[in-house]
Structure 1
Amino acid sequence: MNAWWKKVARCLKRKKSSDCPRGRRGIIQRKGKGKGRGRWAVLVTRGTRREVKNYDDRSASCHLAVDCRTKEAINLKDISSTSQCSGMRAYKGACGYKGIIIAHHEYMVSDRLVPALVHHLEEMRRILRFHGVLLPFQLSLWCVGQRAGTPQVRTTPPTPHPPRRLRWIAMALALVLLLGLLLAHGATAFYAEHLQLSPLPANSVLASFSFQTNGSISCSHYDLLPRPLAQVLQHTQTKELHLSFLAGRWDDQKWGALPDSGHRTGGNGVELWAVLEAPAERLSEKRWLELNQALSGLFCASLNTLDMKRTIRPIFSFQPEGAYRGVNESSLHVFHGALPRETVCTENLTPFLKLLPCKGRAGISALLDGRRIFDAQFQSMSITVLPTTEAGGVSVTQQIDVVIDVSRTLRKRASDNGIIKPRPGEEMACDEAKGYHNGDTCFPVENRENLGWSLEEIFGKSVPGRCPFAREHAGRGDVSYVVNKKVDLEPQPLDWKESSGRQIARYSLEDTTPFTLLSPQHPPSVAGPPTPPPILASRSLTHHTPSRAGMHLTLHNPSPSSPLRISYLESLPWFLKPYMHTFHTSIPGVIEEMYFLPAKNRERGTHLEILVTIPAGSTVEVDWEFEKYILRYIEYPSDANRGFDIAPAVITVLPTDTMTNDTPYQMRTTSLLLTMPTPDFSMPYNVIILTSTVLALAFGSIFNLLVRRFVLVKDIKAAAAGAGVKKPRVSVLKRIFGKLKRKKE
């Protein structure tokens, strides 16, 4: 290529056209006579002729002439109306740094030709200037139309380049500035993890894993903040996100109140609610669907099925919790959806761990083994994203709460193959106060003392060391053990701290030293009585019929002195139509406000929210009836006989003047399983099988009758005697065809 451009330079400096190169790259032609005249350089590509006679030759797709002496471009008007000059090459020797040669690549309309030329020429001038080549003129074109005018050239003084030393100094200063920005961004990034162990009654342990990451999504630099999640939030304009996976049931009567006031614990299956920013409602719905699809692929869940038929817009129960700065409240949209049918398994835990900086290989996240986590009585995974006060800053909190049955885990660990064997009768503790107690009948009682355990026994491994990216929680340490009174632990904690009448033992992890905790056997008084929840609730279905059913809700306020103000959120599928005239409460006047949005067939579900004030020590019962809508056969799931899952109801305890805790308590009821009128999906299969069997039997008999040849028994006996076999009788089918043939003749 360099040799070809050298020929171009020689062509421009000499007078003879024979010195100009010809070849597949194009043709260079000189025009004009005399010394100092006609120093025209023309590069023609995609031409079909070996020699260019004149400038308006239509065999050339694109050509441009530049006068290196007068610095005028000519013959632009002769360019074909369907051509485009784009992309260019420059050569130092051409016209003494004054020539620009245009190469053709593709076609375009003529009215777009001149702006494209200007853009490409300026781009090439910038590139040459970067490499130290100065062009003492600047090309400018105008009069663009169906007939392009003659381009003009205005001369500008050359811009002097700074010395190379100054350029190196400028680059060093820019690098220092960039490093300062990165260090400033890294100073705002924060990651911390914490494990809290709390003994529960009946030989159970609550393990709460908390991972908090602070960062910014306003820039494209991700150090601690999980990049996949941040890009999804930025693309969908999601300001706040609450995603939870739950399996099992929290026994509030035995274990007390939910951890973290229930804000990190969703309903059965998968629950998602988010705050999105959008100027219009339709755009917010589009972004909500995009968010569901992105999270579905990120966490290996069926969130892509969370369409608008399963989505509601809460009014009282869910409010934005983050620090919103400079955001118009009218552009914020709150969405909520739940999938109670979703099964939580290790497919959801694996992407959860990949969002952590240490990926489950160091720190307390190394204890999160799927076989141990999902073998527990209760497990909850949640991801909460809240905006912070910094510009573009977010706080990502990942939390896992697990309730482990210690006695079951130890028995399973002691077995040879991991299968729990029944406990021998002599080892069982029986309640002898029962009247039916004898040598053959035993009513088991709970162990009066909690068994001893260690991290290796209940999780299968110890903590390998602190995650190198983690910072220690201020005042909490890396691992804490919460009990009612102090016990002897191994190893000894750093210190004991009292909080809300509970004793907290704090531990700090070393960088590379493995850590394990041994809890000795202790009486139930060490765990202490559980913290009672502020409200008890239950929900059930009543009087099932093929077309109608009812809902019964029980709300109990255990406080003997103060009333309780709550919000109740119910999200029903679109095929359940509540009859609001049947809505009845056991205590009149307890409902302050009600919001009801009826369902639309196959478009949206029923949205019901009520504000209820429960008197002190009282129980409120709410009943209503609903109708079951007839579904199409394609709308039934594969296991339609199992029933349809109804999402749990959300109950939020609203703060009052008498409450000491400003954080409202939130809980979910259990999900319901509704039986719908189900057609017999096996009927088409049975009909097809029966019809096919009958047709096969009939076809086989008729086919044998028409095709098979019949031979008499006496002919067979004659053949056996040596007389030979007579000609067998012709089949019925041949006789019929023979008769038809004779009739035609």
Structure 2
Amino acid sequence: MATPPTLSVWVSFLLFLLFLSSAVASEPAAVAEEEEFTEELLLRPLPDRKALAHFHFRSSAPPSAAAGRHHHIFPKAISQLVQKFHISELELSFTQGRWNYEQWGGSDPMSTSNAKPPGVELWAVFDLPLSEIDATWKNLTHTLSGLFCASINFLESSTSFSAPQWGFKVNEANLRYGALPREAVCTENLTPWLKLLPCRDKAGIASLLYRPSIYKGYYHSQKLKLRSSQTLDIVLDQTLTVVLQPNTASGKQHIQLMDNFNLTEDKLLPGTLEMLLRFPCGMQSATLTLDFDKGFLHIDEYPPDANQGFDIPSALVSFPEFSSARSYPEIESSFQSPLLEDFQEDGVVKSYTEVLLVPLTTPDFSMPYNVITFTCTVLALYFGSLLNALRRRIGEEERELKKSGKD
């Protein structure tokens, strides 16, 4: 018996829909299998009776060219950031407090990778020609400013960022660096950072983050590090390092010189000075003295509360001949720890100095107001007397005098 043409068309159409739906359903599943997310927590007692808590979150996704724009675990905002600005590597940190290198460590992997200067620090490496990097950097600062509710857009000025060659990556011309030492760190910066996690702070070790305890600590730094390439996966590392004072049982709280100068251009570029120093063995201290001249700024260039002074970002001291890598006993091959892998990577030992407060002479900002007020008062008295003299009539004055005489 022959099948009617209409029925055969409907059967083939239904089979096509089933095949199409299975293909569409299998594609997100394959993408989801390739995306990974891990979280780890490291707790360490410190010599000065404080405790260090280090939260580490890693999200990875296939290259954007292969996976498209659809992500199930990896944050879409970061993927769009990489595609739009052609970022090879990026690191952004929000820090409150100062890392104690003497008590908490200065050359181990923890301090080398997570000890950051106060305020905001941003550096990025772009996969772009040199002529397009500065413009891309400015657009990136505006995007990050809106994403993390911070004043990162102030780094767009050419006087606020530089291109160091030794501090981070040797001979990396596509790197740009900027810092905001006066940027206040608060929960408005932590909330967007948590939104990049798959479950935010509702599940996992992120649910242990109690905001009042974090901001009452001696030191806390939230960092975002991004690595991307056209062949390897996009890797996003989010870390939060907190130094707290736990309660005790009693309830008490417990000389060869190489230089690289970047001359300052007035209102265009900041001054950058990089030195490579070699000291003999046994030297305990060294003093470096630099001469400088104080200049005068335009009234629009003074920051808010200029009487407090000007904050100079922390200087970076790196030790290129020392490595912060650590080796650990071999464990089962099935267990992989991104945190331990980071500690085993060969990194340069870095230390940051304190923020420098430079007092400068500030003008009397109320002087223009006083001058305007005094000038307007004099003009009002002058024109008032002049108009009174011009409008007064002689006949009216005589009648007023006669009336006053009769009285």
- Shared fold per TM-score greater than 0.5: yes
Counterpart pick for 1:394 among 220, 223, 234: 234
Compared with structure 1, are the counterparts of its residues 673 and 202 closer, same or farther at alpha carbon in structure 2 (3 Å cutoff)? same
Separation in structure 2 between the aligned mates of residue 168 and residue 373 of structure 1, nearest angstrom? 58
* Deviation, structure 1 residue 655: 3.5
SS in 1 for 2:265: coil
Separation in structure 2 between the aligned mates of residue 363 and residue 656 of structure 1, nearest angstrom? 36
1:668 alignment partner in structure 2:
352
**Which has the greater radius of gyration?**
1
Counterpart pick for 2:89 among 227, 232, 240: 240
Compared with structure 1, are the counterparts of its residues 353 and 648 closer, same or farther at alpha carbon in structure 2 (3 Å cutoff)? same
2:364 maps to a residue whose letter is D
* Deviation, structure 1 residue 190: 1.1
Compared with structure 1, are the counterparts of its residues 693 and 621 closer, same or farther at alpha carbon in structure 2 (3 Å cutoff)? same
Compared with structure 1, are the counterparts of its residues 386 and 452 closer, same or farther at alpha carbon in structure 2 (3 Å cutoff)? farther
1:237 maps to a residue whose letter is H
SS in 2 for 1:686: helix
| Structure 1 residue 319 corresponds to structure 2 residue 169 | yes
* Deviation, structure 1 residue 739: 6.4
* Deviation, structure 1 residue 204: 1.7
Separation in structure 2 between the aligned mates of residue 185 and residue 669 of structure 1, nearest angstrom? 44
1:194 maps to a residue whose letter is E
2:312 maps to a residue whose letter is I
Compared with structure 1, are the counterparts of its residues 358 and 735 closer, same or farther at alpha carbon in structure 2 (3 Å cutoff)? same
* Deviation, structure 1 residue 206: 1.1
1:637 alignment partner in structure 2:
303
The answer to whether the 8 Å contact 1:265/1:382 transfers is: no
Compared with structure 1, are the counterparts of its residues 177 and 625 closer, same or farther at alpha carbon in structure 2 (3 Å cutoff)? same
Could you give the per-residue CA deviations for residues 312-368 of structure 1, whole angstroms, max 9, x where no partner exists?
112111129xxxxxxxx99x7111111112111111011111111111112221222
The answer to whether the 8 Å contact 2:82/2:228 transfers is: no
Compared with structure 1, are the counterparts of its residues 737 and 352 closer, same or farther at alpha carbon in structure 2 (3 Å cutoff)? farther
* Deviation, structure 1 residue 275: 0.9
Compared with structure 1, are the counterparts of its residues 297 and 291 closer, same or farther at alpha carbon in structure 2 (3 Å cutoff)? same
Separation in structure 1 between the aligned mates of residue 317 and residue 234 of structure 2, nearest angstrom? 27
Compared with structure 1, are the counterparts of its residues 302 and 658 closer, same or farther at alpha carbon in structure 2 (3 Å cutoff)? closer
Structure 1 stretch displaced more, 232-241 or 605-614: 605-614
Separation in structure 2 between the aligned mates of residue 164 and residue 653 of structure 1, nearest angstrom? 73
SS in 1 for 2:292: strand
Separation in structure 2 between the aligned mates of residue 361 and residue 333 of structure 1, nearest angstrom? 38
Compared with structure 1, are the counterparts of its residues 366 and 288 closer, same or farther at alpha carbon in structure 2 (3 Å cutoff)? same
SS in 1 for 2:368: helix
Aligned pairs (5 A) from 1:190-209 = 190-209=36-55
- Report the aligned-residue RMSD: 3.4
Counterpart pick for 1:267 among 117, 120, 124: 117
| Structure 1 residue 736 corresponds to structure 2 residue 394 | yes
2:30 alignment partner in structure 1:
184
* Deviation, structure 1 residue 171: 4.0
2:5 alignment partner in structure 1:
none
1:310 alignment partner in structure 2:
160
1:379 maps to a residue whose letter is H
SS in 1 for 2:31: helix
Aligned pairs (5 A) from 1:276-315 = 276-278=126-128, 280-307=129-156, 308-315=158-165
Separation in structure 2 between the aligned mates of residue 656 and residue 739 of structure 1, nearest angstrom? 98
The answer to whether the 8 Å contact 1:195/1:208 transfers is: yes
The answer to whether the 8 Å contact 1:406/1:451 transfers is: no
1:597 maps to a residue whose letter is N
Residue identity over aligned pairs, in percent, reads: 33
The answer to whether the 8 Å contact 1:244/1:383 transfers is: yes
* Structure 2: segments with no counterpart, 5+ residues: 1-7, 327-343, 400-407
Separation in structure 2 between the aligned mates of residue 678 and residue 657 of structure 1, nearest angstrom? 45
Could you give the per-residue CA deviations for residues 456-492 of structure 1, whole angstroms, max 9, x where no partner exists?
xx9xxxxxxxxxxxxxxxxxxxxxxxxxxxxxxxxxx
| Structure 1 residue 358 corresponds to structure 2 residue 199 | yes
Separation in structure 1 between the aligned mates of residue 309 and residue 360 of structure 2, nearest angstrom? 6
2:368 maps to a residue whose letter is P
Could you give the per-residue CA deviations for residues 424-473 of structure 1, whole angstroms, max 9, x where no partner exists?
xxxxxxxxxxxxxxxxxxxxxxxxxx5489xxxx9xxxxxxxxxxxxxxx
Counterpart pick for 2:209 among 341, 360, 368: 368
* Deviation, structure 1 residue 738: 3.2
Separation in structure 2 between the aligned mates of residue 617 and residue 608 of structure 1, nearest angstrom? 26
Separation in structure 2 between the aligned mates of residue 667 and residue 634 of structure 1, nearest angstrom? 34
* Structure 1: segments with no counterpart, 5+ residues: 1-161, 321-328, 408-449, 459-523, 525-588, 708-731
Separation in structure 2 between the aligned mates of residue 452 and residue 231 of structure 1, nearest angstrom? 52
Compared with structure 1, are the counterparts of its residues 657 and 318 closer, same or farther at alpha carbon in structure 2 (3 Å cutoff)? closer
Aligned pairs (5 A) from 1:67-146 = none
Could you give the per-residue CA deviations for residues 549-582 of structure 1, whole angstroms, max 9, x where no partner exists?
xxxxxxxxxxxxxxxxxxxxxxxxxxxxxxxxxx
SS in 1 for 2:56: strand
* Deviation, structure 1 residue 689: 4.5
Please identify which structure carries the higher helix content: 2
* TM-score (normalised: structure 1): 0.45
Counterpart pick for 1:250 among 85, 91, 99: 99
SS in 2 for 1:297: helix
Aligned pairs (5 A) from 1:595-634 = 595-618=260-283, 619-634=285-300
* Deviation, structure 1 residue 207: 1.2
The answer to whether the 8 Å contact 1:261/1:663 transfers is: no
The answer to whether the 8 Å contact 2:36/2:73 transfers is: yes
1:313 maps to a residue whose letter is A
Separation in structure 1 between the aligned mates of residue 115 and residue 28 of structure 2, nearest angstrom? 36
The answer to whether the 8 Å contact 1:190/1:213 transfers is: yes
Separation in structure 2 between the aligned mates of residue 168 and residue 735 of structure 1, nearest angstrom? 104
Compared with structure 1, are the counterparts of its residues 184 and 315 closer, same or farther at alpha carbon in structure 2 (3 Å cutoff)? same
2:319 alignment partner in structure 1:
653
* Deviation, structure 1 residue 167: 4.2
1:233 maps to a residue whose letter is V
2:223 maps to a residue whose letter is S
Separation in structure 2 between the aligned mates of residue 265 and residue 290 of structure 1, nearest angstrom? 27
* Deviation, structure 1 residue 740: 10
Separation in structure 2 between the aligned mates of residue 295 and residue 207 of structure 1, nearest angstrom? 26
Separation in structure 2 between the aligned mates of residue 314 and residue 603 of structure 1, nearest angstrom? 17
2:405 alignment partner in structure 1:
none
SS in 2 for 1:214: strand
